[in-house]
Amino acid sequence: MKRFAKISLYVGIALVALIVGAAVVLMSMDFNQYKPQIAAEVKKATGRDMAIEGDLRLNLLTFNPGLAVAGVRFANAPWGSRPDMAVIKRFEVKVAILPLLNKTLDVERVVIEGADILVERNAQGQGNYEFLGAEKPAAPATSPDPGKPESGGTSLPTLAVREVTIKDSRLTYKDAKAAQPLVLALSSLSVDAVPGQPMRLDLKGAYNDAPFTVKGTMGDLAQLLQPSKPWPVKITAEAGGASVTVDGSVANPTAASGIDIALAVEGKDLSQMSKLAGTPVPPLGPYSLKTKVTGSMDKVIELRDLSARMGDSALAGKAAMQLKDRPTVSATLTSEQINLADFTKGGDVGGKAGGAPAPAGGTPGAASQAGGGKRLFSDEPLPVEALKAADANIDLTVKKLVADKVAAQNIHAVVALRNGDLTVSPVEADVAKGRLNGLVQLKASQATPTLDIKLSGKKIDIGNLLTDMGITDLLYGVVSTDLDVAGRGKSVHELMAGLNGKTNVVMGEGRMKSNAIDAYVGGAATVLTQAVFGKKSEYTVINCFVSQFDIKNGLATSKAMVFDTEYAQITGAGTVNLGTEQIKYTVDSKPKSVTVNTAVPVQIGGTLTEPTYRLDPLATAAKVGGLVGTVLFPPAAVVGLGELGVSDKNPCMKQGTGAQPQQPAPSGPAGAIESLGKDVKEQLDKGLKGLFGK
């Protein structure tokens, strides 16, 4: 027995000596000597060089061993924009050994300081994260049966990370095809994830030099990876002048299913988002968004109790998004008021929005033609590819819509988008005491898009409309209009060049300021003004206005244009080529009184953006001494005038039936020509000088 005790004592002493000796050896061991072997293994696996410029320390004499390394560099791809793909000033990790007995990998602490990581793609689409030079492991002799577990296989241990700290680190993404890199800088990131307790997050950083902060709590990390109950989320973030709140839970975070979250976003000025967006954002706001997000990413995400506001404009309703397979959006939205100014104010972002000002005499927004002129209809390809990205079905009702001072009420539109084909039907609105309705269809699923527009406006009060626009005492009357056109093309210019259809405008009785043409047209119109208004009063009575164009293969031909006043009747005839944008149109006036004798036809030429006007004085001789002819309106115009309440006694209705209204007898050719005299010459000279700017 004593002998056994002695042996046990010697063995114990030997074990202690062995442990102490091992500890002394480990404590005195310089692990830096293994740097070359570590670098060699990394190059074997990746084909890239790795260097550890600082100390490599390994603490093994504890139940919580740790590794610390400083000055790590990992080489970039040979074609990369800089020598190193990653540089880490300090990396430290500490784990607990005993939890491994329970198949738990317990990471007590992870610290990363001064990390600078670059992820980039070259012009050929190759990424620096593709390790092309790595030695590939040999393939196994036999492929395992996917239906059977590998022999000796065990499940992965449960992961527990108690503390993560990242300081002064940066992640940069560069794409040779992108205008600028994306940079995520982390000033500080602190994550506390004690097992069984809520995970706490505190993050401060910047994205593209725009600072942001994120704070909040989430569920247990173990529940994140292996959820058995809804995982709570409560996060607040500040970025780009916006405040974001997320509060709710996710049943299965890894699958993004069972989402039940309240989302709120608000801010004062969207332009503060410019750095985050990587492009100038107009100064719109204040803005807000509140909704309840429910559903699953692999099925349907619903936005319930949706409430959005931009300035004085508000929108409410519900929406649903199906993201799997082909994305589909459906929504039912209502609004008390939408003011388009809330979405367009401050549009001159960076001095570029809106384009350069139009030259004198030109049309704003006109595009340059190959020949150096200006074109109204752009040759730029229609941005129809975006229509093919998703499907949509949106039902929108707006009580009041304000666009550049013009207000429309009771708007209702249903938008359907299927495989690139966009249909807006119906489109309904009350405008200036009248009613507008129709449909718009753009089919972009085919190689060459087609456009079909049918719009009808009934009994629109022009005086009310102009008053809304801030133009008062100019024109009063009620108008009905129809537009039915269709075309095909890859640009607006191609669409207009191949357009087919018709337009109709009918106006009933009204009145117009007598000097309106002078004020708004001037130049050659001075002579025309006397024929129309006769210098008798401030306002001239309008009997009717009728305009009808038939459009075939881009050529709009005037079938009827009559502007009938108490003093004269103006008629027009000609064409407008929507492809070349050339105008060939003549406006002729027929005085109803011999005291109004200075009527001269006006020939309108040039283009839609740069029209020209030319008086035709030679035509006066043919007109003087003859009765004013009668213009027969097309049947549709007669019906339209009737719908506007124009009485049978109106001269326009008599012309529509072919009746000959009585005209004052002329004084004879000689007297009429003599009466023109000096007045016509002066007016013609004045008009021509106005045309040529002399």
Residue 295 inside a domain? The answer is no
226 vs 111, higher pLDDT: 111
Determine contact, residues 265/242, Cβ cutoff 8 Å: yes
- Residue where a domain stops, chosen among 175, 192, 209: 192
Write the pLDDT tens digit of every residue in 459-501.
Answer: 999 888 888 777 777 888 899 999 999 999 999 999 999 999 9
CA count, 13 A, side-chain hemisphere, 596: 25
Any residues with CB less than 8 A from the CB of 294 and at least 6 apart, and which? 259, 260, 261, 301, 302, 304
Residue 331 inside a domain? The answer is no
What's the whole-model pTM score?
Answer: 0.72
DSSP annotation string for 461-515: EHHHHHHHTT--SSEE-EEEEEEEEEEE-SBHHHHHHT-EEEEEEEE-SEEEETT
The pairing of beta strand 210-218 with beta strand 231-239: antiparallel
- Residue where a domain stops, chosen among 192, 210, 243: 192
Residue 240 inside a domain? The answer is no
Determine contact, residues 95/66, Cβ cutoff 8 Å: yes
Cα end-to-end distance, the chain, whole Å? 135
Residue 8 inside a domain? The answer is no
Write the pLDDT tens digit of every residue in 34-51.
Answer: 788 888 988 888 899 999
Residue 630 inside a domain? The answer is yes
- For tokens 């173990």, the residue is 222
- For tokens 């299927």, the residue is 418
pLDDT at 276 over 80: yes
Task: State the Cα–Cα distance between residues 415 and 422, nearest whole angstrom.
Answer: 7
Looking at residue 32, its pLDDT comes to 76
What is the CB neighbour count within 10 angstroms for residue 535? 12
Range of the domain at 68: 26-128+157-192
Q: What mean pLDDT comes out for the span 587-608?
A: 72
Determine contact, residues 337/402, Cβ cutoff 8 Å: yes
Looking at residue 652, its pLDDT comes to 66
DSSP annotation string for 336-349: S-EETHHHHTT--G
pLDDT at 12 over 60: no
Residue 538 inside a domain? The answer is yes
Residue 596 inside a domain? The answer is yes
Confidence of residue 577 (pLDDT cuts 50, 70, 90): very high
Task: State the Cα–Cα distance between residues 259 and 249, nearest whole angstrom.
Answer: 6
Count of domains forming the chain: 2
Determine contact, residues 592/345, Cβ cutoff 8 Å: no
Q: What mean pLDDT comes out for the span 147-171?
A: 72
DSSP annotation string for 607-675: BSSSEEEEE-TTHHHHHTTSPPP-PPPPHHHHHHHHHTT--TTSHHHHHHTT-----PPP--HHHHHHH
What is the CB neighbour count within 10 angstroms for residue 148? 8
What is the CB neighbour count within 10 angstroms for residue 679? 13
pLDDT at 621 over 60: no
Task: State the Cα–Cα distance between residues 582 and 489, nearest whole angstrom.
Answer: 19
Task: Indicate the average pLDDT of the chain.
Answer: 79
Q: Of 405, 521, 542, whose CA–CA distance to 469 is shortest?
A: 405
Element (DSSP H or E) covering residue 681:
helix 669-692
Determine contact, residues 50/73, Cβ cutoff 8 Å: yes
Task: State the Cα–Cα distance between residues 409 and 425, nearest whole angstrom.
Answer: 17
Q: Of 592, 501, 619, 625, whose CA–CA distance to 553 is shortest?
A: 501
Residue 627 class from Cβ within 10 Å (0-12 exposed, 13-18 middle, 19+ buried)? exposed
Determine contact, residues 650/510, Cβ cutoff 8 Å: no
Q: Of 106, 394, 73, whose CA–CA distance to 222 is shortest?
A: 106
Residues forming beta bridges with residue 264, ordered by sequence position: 245, 290
Looking at residue 211, its pLDDT comes to 95
Residue 168 inside a domain? The answer is yes
Looking at residue 665, its pLDDT comes to 40
Element (DSSP H or E) covering residue 320:
strand 313-322
Q: What mean pLDDT comes out for the span 255-266?
A: 94
Any residues with CB less than 8 A from the CB of 216 and at least 6 apart, and which? 200, 201, 233, 234, 235, 236, 246
Looking at residue 5, its pLDDT comes to 54
- Residue where a domain stops, chosen among 192, 219, 243: 192
What is the CB neighbour count within 10 angstroms for residue 181? 15
Task: State the Cα–Cα distance between residues 39 and 224, nearest whole angstrom.
Answer: 35
Task: State the Cα–Cα distance between residues 486 and 484, nearest whole angstrom.
Answer: 7
Confidence of residue 561 (pLDDT cuts 50, 70, 90): confident
CA count, 13 A, side-chain hemisphere, 16: 6
Q: What angle do CA 80, 82, 87 make, to 5 degrees?
A: 115
Q: What mean pLDDT comes out for the span 166-181?
A: 92
Task: State the Cα–Cα distance between residues 58 and 31, nearest whole angstrom.
Answer: 7
Per-residue exposure over 451-476, b if at least 16 CB sit within 10 Å of its own CB, e if not: bbbbbebbbbbbbbbbbbeeeeebbb
